[in-house]
């Protein structure tokens, strides 16, 4: 599930730059630039971009125009054009911390984390008192799983601005990555004190409770995020896992379905909903979901294992064996696939193949030993 968009938009908010005195002497450039700024304030990005184009035609060295046009492209989700504009802004003004920061966010959105880190580090060098620069580098360290470095950056961001809920949430994510779930929960609690309706804080606190196996508390937090109108499919996904854990498959199916509405290209959602349909004996629906999971992620061995299980329950043994075999091509040491294929061979009456598969499963995983 994508959790990057909120970071980028939160950090971009309110970062329009006005014209420096040097360009006020060019009336044509200034007029077009100011028009672009007004369009940006109204979030009319498609109108802002041509206005900045005109400003740059009148003065090709107008670094504020490159910066704001980059901001418009970034707000539209066009990271490549944003990067190109921020690069030109930096060319004409190398001491441009905001341009480095925003270019870093564009690289972050493209999952080019090492490149993003370099830009955030340069932004910090140019303006070490900007809390958002520290925060964004910390979030990038989070994504690189370098949680100790992330924690240090988030500490600095909070020291500079302790009243921003986002910073406490991001530090909580780093602490959760270090398995410091109680400290993470304390950060999410602080975020909720600052903003009692913060959907992200409820979601991440729910994850921390879930990691601690505090199921009731996790469920409460996920439900709070959902009541507040979360658009994060991960919240429904995590609540569905709780329902599966207690055998409430119908509720799990409803949550997976909502998550699929929000993120229709995530194979794991179809995989899990398909498995839940298998438990409710709705095999046609289960197969439809698992077929979709295979289509979306044809190199994931678990998708073939899941579909093989459905075929096995429908007594379509040859198709089950084919799926287990494909899972083993993708993961030759997959004990569960050997075990399940062995059981299906046994049900077909092929004792020799069954014995070979079951023996291999036991060799790979003691849990399958008889």
What is the per-residue pLDDT for 2?
40
Q: Are 321 and 341 spatial neighbours (Cβ–Cβ below 8 Å)?
A: yes
The secondary structure of residue 191, as a DSSP letter, is H
Tokens at residue 226, please?
């959902």
In angstroms, the first-to-last Cα distance of the chain is 39
Tokens at residue 288, please?
């439809």
Average pLDDT, whole number, for the chain?
Answer: 92
What is the per-residue pLDDT for 13?
40
Confidence check: pLDDT of 19 > 80: no
Confidence check: pLDDT of 14 > 90: no
What is the per-residue pLDDT for 7?
44
Task: Choose which CATH entry (1.25.40.10, 3.30.160.270, 3.30.300.30, 3.30.70.270) describes domain 317-370.
Answer: 1.25.40.10
- The fold for domain 1-111 equals 1.25.40
Instruction: Average the pLDDT over 42-49 and give the result.
Output: 94
Question: Residue 275 and residue 268: Cα distance in Å, rounded?
Answer: 10
Equal fold, 1-111 vs 317-370: yes
Q: Are 153 and 173 spatial neighbours (Cβ–Cβ below 8 Å)?
A: no
Residue ranges covered by each domain of the chain: 1-111, 317-370
Tokens at residue 41, please?
């304030």
Q: How confident is the model at residue 17 (pLDDT cuts 50, 70, 90)?
A: low
Confidence check: pLDDT of 257 > 90: yes
Confidence check: pLDDT of 189 > 80: yes
Share of the chain above pLDDT 70, in %: 93
Question: Residue 304 and residue 203: Cα distance in Å, rounded?
Answer: 31
Confidence check: pLDDT of 12 > 70: no
| 277-298 pLDDT, tens digit each | 999 999 999 999 999 999 999 9
| 300-346 pLDDT, tens digit each | 999 999 999 999 999 999 999 999 999 999 999 999 999 999 999 99
What is the per-residue pLDDT for 338?
95
Distance of CA 54 to the CA centre of its chain: 37
Question: Residue 92 and residue 17: Cα distance in Å, rounded?
Answer: 15
Burial class (CB in 10 A: 0-12, 13-18, 19+), 315: exposed
Q: How confident is the model at residue 27 (pLDDT cuts 50, 70, 90)?
A: confident
What is the per-residue pLDDT for 67?
93
């Amino acid at each position: 599930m994508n959790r990057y968009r909120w970071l980028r938009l939160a950090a971009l908010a309110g970062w329009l730059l006005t014209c420096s005195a040097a360009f006020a002497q060019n009336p044509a450039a200034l007029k077009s630039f100011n028009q672009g700024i007004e369009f940006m304030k109204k979030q009319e990005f498609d109108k802002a971009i041509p206005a900045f184009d005109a400003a740059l035609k009148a003065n090709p060295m107008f670094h504020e125009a490159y910066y704001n046009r980059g901001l418009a492209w970034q707000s539209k989700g066009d990271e490549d054009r944003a990067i190109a504009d921020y690069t030109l802004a930096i060319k004409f003004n190398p001491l441009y911390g905001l341009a480095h920061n925003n270019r870093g966010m564009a690289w972050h959105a493209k999952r080019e984390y090492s490149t993003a880190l370099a830009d955030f580090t340069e932004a910090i060098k140019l303006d070490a008192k900007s809390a958002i620069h520290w925060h964004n580098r910390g979030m990038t360290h989070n994504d690189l799983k370098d949680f100790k470095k992330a924690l240090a950056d988030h500490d600095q961001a909070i020291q500079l601005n302790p009243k921003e809920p986002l910073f406490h949430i991001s530090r909580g994510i780093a602490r959760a990555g270090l398995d410091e779930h109680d400290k993470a929960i304390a950060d999410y609690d602080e975020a909720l004190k600052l903003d009692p309706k913060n959907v992200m804080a409820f979601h991440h606190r729910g994850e921390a409770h879930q990691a601690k196996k505090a199921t009731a508390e996790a469920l409460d937090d996920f439900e709070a995020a959902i009541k507040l109108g979360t658009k994060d499919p991960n919240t429904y996904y995590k609540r569905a896992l709780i329902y599966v854990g207690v055998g409430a498959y119908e509720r799990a199916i409803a949550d997976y379905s909502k998550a699929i509405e929000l993120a229709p290209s995530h194979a794991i959602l179809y995989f899990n909903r398909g498995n839940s349909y298998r438990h409710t004996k709705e095999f046609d629906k289960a197969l439809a979901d698992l077929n979709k999971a295979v289509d979306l992620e044809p190199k994931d061995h678990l998708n073939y294992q899941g579909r093989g299980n459905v075929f096995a329950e429908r007594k379509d043994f040859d198709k089950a064996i084919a799926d287990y075999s494909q899972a083993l091509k993708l993961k030759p040491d997959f004990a569960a696939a050997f075990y399940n294929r062995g059981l299906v061979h046994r049900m077909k009456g092929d004792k020799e193949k069954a014995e070979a598969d079951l023996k291999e499963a036991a060799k790979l995983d003691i849990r399958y030993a008889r």
